[in-house]
Amino acid sequence: MDYSEFIKQFAQHPSYRSPRGNELNARSWQTEAPLRMLLNNLDSEVAENPAELIVYGGTGQAARDPESVRRIIRTLLTLEETRSLLIQSGKPVGIIRSHAQAPRVLIANSNLVPAWADWENFNRLRKKGLIMFGQMTAGSWIYIGTQGILQGTYETFAACGEKYFNGNTHGKLLVSGGLGGMGGAQPLAATMAGYTFLGVDVDRERIRKRLQTGYIDRMTESYEEAMKLINHYREKRETRSVGLVGNIVDVLDMLRKDNIIPDVLTDQTSAHDPLNGYIPQGLTLQQAADLRKSSPTEYRSLALKSMARQIGIMLEMRKRGSVVFDYGNNLREFARQGGEKDAFSYRGFVPEFIRPLFCQGKGPFRWVALSGNPEDIRITDQALMEAFPQNKNLLKWLESAEVKVRYQGLPARICWLGMDEREKAGIIFNDLVKLGKVGAPIVIGRDHLDCGSVASPNRETEAMADGSDAISDWPLLNLMANTCGGATWVSFHHGGGVGIGYSQHAGMVVVADGTQRAAACLKRVLYNDPALGIYRHADAGYREAVDNIDFFNLNY
């Protein structure tokens, strides 16, 4: 298919859709895969706002502008195996000489030198058309819809239940704000972990999308109706979820006045971006959009004050019995800037629940069936259950996901795998392709939220044992390790999750196409990637990670 026909069929802005099947449009699967995943990121089933190329997370984009998308497509359709495409903040800027096992695409998004690394400078440059915000997997073309964070959210909520309720979460009320691309995983993760869930979002369309995709059970615009449903579910100890259209600060205030104290309280609004992500208390969506344009300084001030009020209520509920933890959107930092001096008096979800998994090299391992056939995901699920029969959590997760998770765009799956497990899974998938048991190659990637790929002092690297929270050598080492290992495309971003100035992180994607070349790359990349997590945490002094150096023979 020539370029113009391809654009007509798959990339007529703002209508984007990935090709399906086993027929190549590009010269190889090494370029076909990033092409399909870019378009999948922008599919309306997946992206929050395809018209603006926004995938999730407030303003997280897959590419800088429609012309950049078309230029990326044109290049990937003809790129040779001895060349690699350079992407600078969503814009193709050149082709370099490389080699057959090198990454086909090298991506850098949102990066600013430290003294300029704040939202003010970023937004000034964005208005000039010089940069874009890539979030984590928006600009690295491996977002798979709300499922992408689902198991990590489930692991977090389940760990919270084990730690604070001895695993007995039935009848416990979990409340959170934000039901967008990331926060939208919360209701399903919460009910899978046994809770009754109340989620709040000022944008009714976000809740409607979660309702349509099966991530939330009920939707209402009435606080009274929401509480009637919640009280019924709690009384019956039913694991059900309710999405309430409203501002989270207003709803928390009403819960406080009604003496309804959640058992667990967190937040996943897009607080990482006070100007473009968070809606201040007292403003409708339209009022917020108007004020954002007419007076961004006033808007940001209102947002910070609103976050401070939100944290203030959360802290009061904590005193009255709620388990409160930060869910990595930098709400605490901006609440502190808004005047809440005790904003950091509770911890984030990584030091609270997830770090022991990081010490094992575990993290979010995701894969996508480029065939577009859901049967391929069922086959890979079954293959993993047969390969890891001793991993009871994995078996439980995959069995549940097959029933409860609806696909958005290309069929995909995510699970948490660690050292040795990722490499083994990659080779299994490659053999499935080689033997023709699945319809087309499989893309393997992950969130940037992983054991050794992020420096984020208010999230993944909060409260490191040796105080190395802000050292970002580790994600750079991760990037270099996966580049020389032969990932199909790699990325390095700034600001994902917590906003500009607060994080740096690396991403990788590698394709299992059934070839010997792919097998060699998979073995290197899916060894290097989790090994970085163990090295990073062992260096910080975590005993479990130090022990795993020996257990996995990672000594040097």
415 is known as an active-site residue = yes
Q: Determine contact, residues 358/474, Cβ cutoff 8 Å.
A: no
Q: Determine contact, residues 278/247, Cβ cutoff 8 Å.
A: no
d(CA 159, CA 352): 9
Phi, psi of 167 (to 5 degrees): 85, -5
d(CA 332, CA 287): 25
Torsion-angle region of 421 (φ positive above 0: left; ψ -120 to 50: alpha; else: beta): alpha
- Polymer length in residues for the chain: 556
Phi, psi of 264 (to 5 degrees): -135, 135
| Candidate list 160, 415, 451, 521, residue with the active-site label | 415
Helix and strand numbers, DSSP H then E, in the chain: 20, 19
Residue 110's alpha-carbon distances to 422, 505, 507, in angstroms, are 29, 11, 14
Give the sign of the dihedral formed by CA 117, CA 121, CA 126, CA 129: negative
The DSSP element (H or E) to which 35 belongs, if any, is helix 29-42
Q: What is the 3-state secondary structure (H, E, C) of 244-302?
A: EECCHHHHHHHHHHCCCCCCEEEECCCCCCCCCCCCCCCCCHHHHHHHHHHCHHHHHHH
d(CA 354, CA 512): 29
Would you name the residues annotated as active-site residues?
Answer: 415
